[in-house]
Structure 1
Amino acid sequence: MDYANFWYRVTARLIDTIIIQIIYSIATEFILLFSDNIQEVITHLNLLLILGILFGWLYYSLMESSAKQATIGKMMLGIYVTDLQGKRISFSRATGRYFSNYISALTFGIGYLMVNFTKKKQALHDIMAGCLIVKERK
């Protein structure tokens, strides 16, 4: 297997973040457009924050456990998520991988940088979830 390096992964994440941000920004503008007062705006933005977390979880978990095994960003770069045997991951494993991303972030990014120092180019959240990010076979 040819494992995806740090920069492939960062670029895929950037593409996915842009996609999610565009959707989130449209939803925010929609809420602001139809809110009459500041209290209503605050209430709606709190709801939007919760929905944003749910959307991020579903976006990553559904796409990475799908037949494509990749988010849009990963597809654009020709990389995908597998288990340690190279097979498609389940939705529950994808969910674990998504939420363990927060642990990688809480290590001041060291969890992400581990990709540069592990044999299979795994970040902390990949190790925790038993996943690999690999390049498509040509």
Structure 2
Amino acid sequence: MEVWIGRQGERHGPYREDQIREWLRSGQLSRDDLGWYDGLADWQPLSVLFPQERPTPPPTPNIYAPPQAAVHMSANVTAFDYAGFWQRVGAWIIDLIILTIPSMIAAYMLGGVEAYTHFIAQFQSNADMTKALHDYVDATESSTFASIIITYIYYTLFEASKWQATPGKLALRLRVTDLDGQRISFVRSAGRNVVRLMSLVFGLIPVICYLAVAWTQRKQGLHDLMASTLVLNGSVQALPPPRPQSSSDRGSFNA
């Protein structure tokens, strides 16, 4: 069963039943939050839908434990599940395949196909290959530029979206966040992808963005380091909905 969560007039989800139960026990969801699933006549408090699930009481304080601030700082360092090098390369390959479609459309509309056909004809006729290659680069300049812009917009919009990920990252259940694990802004996403844009402009292998992942502590690529971002395991759908700023609107939701 999949359950939708309602908070402050917004609908989140759907989430699996086992996720809802776990978040109720951990306190990440309130029993006063509203829930709805297919077949239910109206939204109901989670305390009605899952009456047996209650927050687990906190453990008895340990007077010999380190100060709370130190525990909090330690938790912040280790709480994130960073995506690895090959996961990110895999997501990049999926996105590259997807981007082939709009890039081919741009090439067709801007004369790239004709330029390629002409280049192949010159190659087969044993023409001056230096001149043929130079002519091909000149003829495809517009379509190449369009492909670069499409790629830049694709990454910038998707990574700043509510999904926090491109389709390739979504397929591998990854998400892009700031250093606190929160959704990044459009401006930060645009800055993050400048490195990717420059690598395309100068003809560099895009994988150079990811090489730093292999040795940085938080598995950050060059573009992550520049924009102060992280790539974490777990899609947004696998996370509980954000806590409201205040409880004044709790208990009312309009679908």
Q: Write the mapping of 1:83-102 to structure 2, written as runs, cut at 5 A.
A: 83-101=178-196, 102=198
Structure 1 stretches of at least 4 aligned residues deviating more than 4 Å after TM superposition: 30-35, 41-44, 105-111
1:21 corresponding residue in structure 2: 100
Distance 2:83 2:96 in 1: 18
Normalised by the size of structure 1, how large is the TM-score? 0.81
**Among 218, 221, 225, the residue aligned to 1:123:** 221
User: 1: distance between equivalents of 2:170 and 2:206?
Assistant: 27
Q: Return the alpha-carbon distance in structure 2 between the equivalents of residues 74 and 108 of structure 1.
A: 16
Moved more, 113-122 or 74-83: 113-122
**Inter-partner Cα distance in structure 1 for 2:137 and 2:164:** 37
Q: Secondary structure at the match of 2:210?
A: helix
Q: Determine the C-alpha separation between the residues in 2 that align with 1:117 and 1:42.
A: 37
1:13-46 alpha-carbon deviations (Å, 9 max, x no partner): 00001111122123323444997xx7xx988733
Q: Report the counterpart of residue 88 of structure 2 in structure 1.
A: 9
Partner in structure 1 of residue 141 of structure 2: 46
Give the letter for the 2:218 counterpart.
K
Larger Rg: 2
Distance in structure 1 (CA, Å) of the matches to 2:86 and 2:137: 37
Identity, in percent, stands at 40
How many residues end up aligned between the 2 structures? Answer: 133
Unaligned residue ranges in structure 2 (runs of 5+): 1-79, 119-135, 239-255
- How has the CA–CA distance of structure 1 residues 46 and 118 changed in structure 2, closer, same or farther, with 3 Å as cutoff? same
Decide whether the 8 Å contact of 1:84 with 1:130 is kept in 2.
yes
Segments of 5+ residues of structure 1 without an aligned counterpart are none
Match of 2:163 in 1: 68
8 Å CA contact 1:31–1:44 kept in 2: the answer is: no
Once residues 108 and 21 of structure 1 are traced to their aligned partners in structure 2, the CA distance between those partners, rounded to angstroms, is 15
> Relative to total residues, which structure has the larger helix share, 1 or 2?
1
The amino acid that maps onto 1:118 is: T
Q: CA deviation at 1:113?
A: 1.6
Question: Is the contact made by 2:157 and 2:186 (CA closer than 8 Å) also made in structure 1?
Answer: yes
Match of 1:113 in 2: 211
Amino acid at match of 1:86: G
